[in-house]
Structure 1
Amino acid sequence: MRTRRSVRRPVPALAALLLAAALALTGCSGAGDDAAGSKAADRGLAQDQGAAGAKEAAPGGTGSGSRATAPVKLPAQHIIRTASLTVQVEDVPKALDEARTSTENAGGYIGDETTTRDAEDRERTRVVLRVPAEKYDAVLSGLEGAGKLLDRSAKAEDVTDQVVDVESRITSQRASVARIRALMDRATKLGDVVTLEGELSTRQADLEALLARQKSLRDRTSLATITLTLTETPVEKEAKDDDPGFVDALAGGWNAFVTMLRWLAVVCGAVLPFAAVAALLALLWLRVVRPRLPRRSRPAPAATAVGPLPTARPAPEATQPRAPGERD
């Protein structure tokens, strides 16, 4: 009996060993199956994603592909527009009033204005107009049609890069100022506070300069500048008939007569001082000098061989007839 028991004991031990080996083999095969299954799942997921991407990239598909093909929104352009016009009109004040009215109706305003007259007494006015950029073309066309266009020049300058650069620098400068102020709030030492105050003043000055430049660019891009010069139309003289008539001859004779009188008056005016002096000298001679001169005696009658020449006797006085009864 003891012998049988000793023979039967190794059987359970061998069975336990075989069971453990079977379990180990089963675990290894399960792990291999799990790894293979996970790899297959990964390959399937990749295939599904590729198919979805191809569907989105296809025409009419939706998703990220359609967003990539959407038009990119470009920044607004900032352009400075200037123009110069010279227009010849019949009535300069009237044309100037019309230009002022059209500018104000467009939402602009009048700048500098200068009015002069040339050597031929023709009026000339120069005025600077500021109009909104969207109304620039309409106002410019209206001014060109006000009269005869003599000169025109226009210029457009794109300053979009400058505007974007200034805006970016303003944003950075504001953030820098905010950081300096935050540091000042946390500073405890007097030296740190003084240093931060100096830095804050410098950065604020830079910020104000950038803001001023931004304002200038905004004004120049939002309002176009038009320099208008208005000149008066010269009056054309009527051509005269070459053949002179009676009226022309009469007018010419009268002009010659008036010219002669004018020259005579000039000559008289030039001789008058000398004539006055001569008259004064003659008066002095007759009134003062001549009466004081000794008078000359009459010369004796000349003697001849026969005797002295008879002297002329005075003529006898005519006797008048006596009246009756009158005595000698």
Structure 2
Amino acid sequence: MRAARALAALLLTTSVAVAGCGAAGDSGGKSAAAAHPAVQPAEGSGAAGSGSGSGSGSGSASAAKQSGGKAPSAVQNKIVRTAELTVEVKDTEKALDHARTAAEDAGGFVGSESTERTADGLVRSTLVLRVPQSAYDEVLAGLQGSGKLLDRKADAKDVTSDVVDVESRIASQRASVARVRTLMKQASQLSDVVSLEGELSTREAALESLLAEQASLKDRTDLATITLRLSEPAAPQDDSGKTAEKDGGPSFLGALAGGWDAFVAVVRWIAIVIAAVAPFAAAAALGFAVWRLLRRRLPERGAWRPVSWGKAPWRKVSPQRAPSGQMPTGQVSPGEVAPPAHVPSQEEARHEQE
């Protein structure tokens, strides 16, 4: 009887102890589960109120969680692919349309395009195509087959470490910005607020720079860059012109073309000389015309003009007969020089007038 009672008491005690342990375990699990989500959003703010040491510890824990969550994606290699092609085509416009269509069909786009015409009349174009990494090889092969390949350069750079480093720095910088904002909310003095605002601006600028670097890495790793240069072939030289025949001797058409070129060159130089002399010839002709006009209006030098000192009376002079064989007085025989006429002086003229 006593043994049965003792056994019953032992079983009762054991069951009570087991029930108590189970209840304690359930309550502990519930309290831990309730405490865990409360710590998650307050990692940066709760620790900031207790001190800088606890704040840095919570920030590192949060960065570790974020980096740990992205660890599987960082395993994938991040490759930046670039290529440069120089292709000779017969029709540049047609090749440009083909390149644009190939990039758009692959899900990419044309980054930039430039076209120029050389002095020889040839068209040259340069395109920068951005295509997805998955279609890089297919698009590159299609562009190479559009004409005669003259040059090809391809490059692949692994930037996985850069991507992981930037992501880690962004996570740390975001946690740092969150801590500064929490401290600003808790600050009570104006000097502390001003100091924290300056620190917040600095950290936000650093965060924006990291985000821009991350966007650039993502753009370069998601889309490959292909630089395509298109050029037309040079026109073949006419063998019937200035070149010699295959046997090495000069050809008739070549000599004719050379003579024609020489004739054209001579005519061109003559025209140039005439054009250069024309202004001087025009000025000389104008000066000669002015000289002729003035010469007609001015009296001749050395010409004798009679000077009249008054009205001299007219006298009838009877011609004197000369003996036979002699000329009359006052007449000059052929071949003789007539004596100069007598010019009356001023006194003689006055005397005659009186």
- Report the counterpart of residue 157 of structure 1 in structure 2: 157
- Supply the distance in 1 between the matched residues of 2:156 and 2:196 (Cα, whole angstroms): 44
* Post-superposition CA distance 1:242-290 (Å, at most 9, x none): 2149997996898599669847954873534323433442344345434
Identity of aligned residues (%): 46
Moved more, 106-115 or 174-183: 174-183
- Report the counterpart of residue 282 of structure 1 in structure 2: 292
- Report the counterpart of residue 211 of structure 2 in structure 1: 211
- Supply the distance in 2 between the matched residues of 1:153 and 1:132 (Cα, whole angstroms): 18
- Report the counterpart of residue 148 of structure 1 in structure 2: 148
How has the CA–CA distance of structure 1 residues 143 and 239 changed in structure 2, closer, same or farther, with 3 Å as cutoff? same
- Offset of residue 137 of structure 1: 1.4
How has the CA–CA distance of structure 1 residues 133 and 279 changed in structure 2, closer, same or farther, with 3 Å as cutoff? same
Moved more, 276-285 or 155-164: 276-285
Q: What SS class does the counterpart of residue 130 from structure 2 fall into? A: strand
Contact 2:131 2:224 (8 Å CA) reproduced? yes
- Supply the distance in 2 between the matched residues of 1:140 and 1:113 (Cα, whole angstroms): 17
* Post-superposition CA distance 1:60-87 (Å, at most 9, x none): xxxxxxxxxxxx9991110111112222
- Report the counterpart of residue 68 of structure 1 in structure 2: none
* Post-superposition CA distance 1:209-230 (Å, at most 9, x none): 3322211111110011122222
Which residue identity lines up with residue 146 of structure 1 in the other structure? S
> 2:109 matched to 1:100?
no
- Report the counterpart of residue 325 of structure 1 in structure 2: none
- Supply the distance in 2 between the matched residues of 1:245 and 1:212 (Cα, whole angstroms): 66
Contact 2:240 2:253 (8 Å CA) reproduced? no
Which residue identity lines up with residue 237 of structure 1 in the other structure? Q
- Offset of residue 132 of structure 1: 0.9
- Supply the distance in 2 between the matched residues of 1:188 and 1:311 (Cα, whole angstroms): 145
- Report the counterpart of residue 243 of structure 1 in structure 2: 252
- Supply the distance in 2 between the matched residues of 1:204 and 1:256 (Cα, whole angstroms): 74
How has the CA–CA distance of structure 1 residues 294 and 224 changed in structure 2, closer, same or farther, with 3 Å as cutoff? same
- Supply the distance in 2 between the matched residues of 1:173 and 1:182 (Cα, whole angstroms): 14
- Offset of residue 174 of structure 1: 3.8
* Post-superposition CA distance 1:137-178 (Å, at most 9, x none): 111222222222222211111001111222233334444555
Q: What SS class does the counterpart of residue 238 from structure 2 fall into? A: coil
Q: Any unmatched runs of 5+ in structure 2?
A: 1-71, 242-250, 306-324, 336-354
Query: Given the two structures, how large is their TM-score scaled by the length of structure 1?
Result: 0.55
- Supply the distance in 2 between the matched residues of 1:177 and 1:256 (Cα, whole angstroms): 80
> 2:137 matched to 1:127?
no
Q: Any unmatched runs of 5+ in structure 1?
A: 1-71, 296-305, 313-328
Return the index of the structure with the highest Cα Rg. 1
- Offset of residue 240 of structure 1: 1.4
- Supply the distance in 2 between the matched residues of 1:140 and 1:93 (Cα, whole angstroms): 19
- Report the counterpart of residue 76 of structure 1 in structure 2: 76
- Supply the distance in 2 between the matched residues of 1:288 and 1:189 (Cα, whole angstroms): 114
Contact 2:74 2:164 (8 Å CA) reproduced? no
- Report the counterpart of residue 171 of structure 1 in structure 2: 171
- Supply the distance in 2 between the matched residues of 1:122 and 1:293 (Cα, whole angstroms): 79
Number of residue equivalences: 231
Contact 2:88 2:150 (8 Å CA) reproduced? yes
Which residue identity lines up with residue 86 of structure 2 in the other structure? T
- Supply the distance in 2 between the matched residues of 1:213 and 1:171 (Cα, whole angstroms): 14
Which residue identity lines up with residue 95 of structure 1 in the other structure? A
Which residue identity lines up with residue 252 of structure 2 in the other structure? D
